[in-house]
Amino acid sequence: MVEEVSTRSGAHLSVEGVTVQFGGLTALSDVGFEVRPGQVLGVIGPNGAGKTTLFNVVCGFTRPQQGRLTLDGQVFRPAPQRLVRSGVSRSLQGLGLFPGLSVLENIVAGGGSAARTGWWSGLLALPRTDRDERRLHERAGALVDELGLGAYAHAQPGTLPYAVSKRVALARALVSEPRLLLLDEPAGGLGHDEVLELGELITSLPSRGAGCSVMLVEHHVDLVMQVCDELVVLDFGRVIATGVPEVVREDPAVAEAYLGAEVDAS
């Protein structure tokens, strides 16, 4: 199991031979790929291809029957409550904002400070806890400014436009300064201009701060073509293509499985 890791550069995630079965249904079959340090990797495929199951495996919501994950060369057995401690953060399709907290408080909640400082430090209110909490609030404030959330900092999630809620969820995922960021359908429900802004932000992640690798699960073809260094294409739980977007886009198997309409229209 990976514990707290260095934040010197983006993480290296390796998925090897992962198979997931639900009863008699095989959701993933011998899936393998890598997210290399500083890379933005996109996972695409038609509905039912296994994208959500794969995302859940990497987040620790689903345990595979076969295969393994490694993070920076160490066996990685993810659990949702320990992701931040491993240098991993996620932004979920369903947002998951806390209704009783303000925007700023929601962002701070993504820092996982108890996991980072240790249970005893938090219980005893040692100086390290105070120091970490100050840094966490500083990072949250910086993200509020960076993502244009200043006007909403003290608002409740239920009062926010959907596009703003998406930015809050992304800020909450970034506040822990992850080395690996997992994004599930971040463009869902966004307009054209908002998708362009999101794309610019995602492409900046590998070079910001200590660096960040990104695994992006997304239906929005224009976005993945814009931001991803490499793509993994799933169909019926199997990897049918990998490579740079320009090559994957021209792959006949991909066009048949998923991209046909978009490719023909481009």
Among residues 197, 194, 212, which one has the least CA distance to residue 39?
Answer: 212
Q: How many residues does the chain have?
A: 266
> What does the pLDDT look like over 120-167, one tens digit per residue?
444 444 454 677 788 888 889 999 998 888 999 999 988 998 888 888
Q: What is the pLDDT of residue 259?
A: 53
Phi, psi of 161 (to 5 degrees): -60, 150
Q: How far is CA 46 from the centre of its chain?
A: 19
Q: How confident is the model at residue 115 (pLDDT cuts 50, 70, 90)?
A: very low
Q: What is the pLDDT of residue 110?
A: 84
Q: Which of 103-107, 202-206, 214-218 has the lowest mean pLDDT?
A: 202-206
The three-class DSSP label of residue 205 is helix
For the cut 90, the answer to whether the pLDDT of residue 180 exceeds it is yes
For the cut 60, the answer to whether the pLDDT of residue 91 exceeds it is yes
Query: Do 90 and 184 touch, CB atoms closer than 8 A?
Result: yes
Would the pTM count as exceeding 0.85? Answer: no
Phi, psi of 250 (to 5 degrees): -95, 0
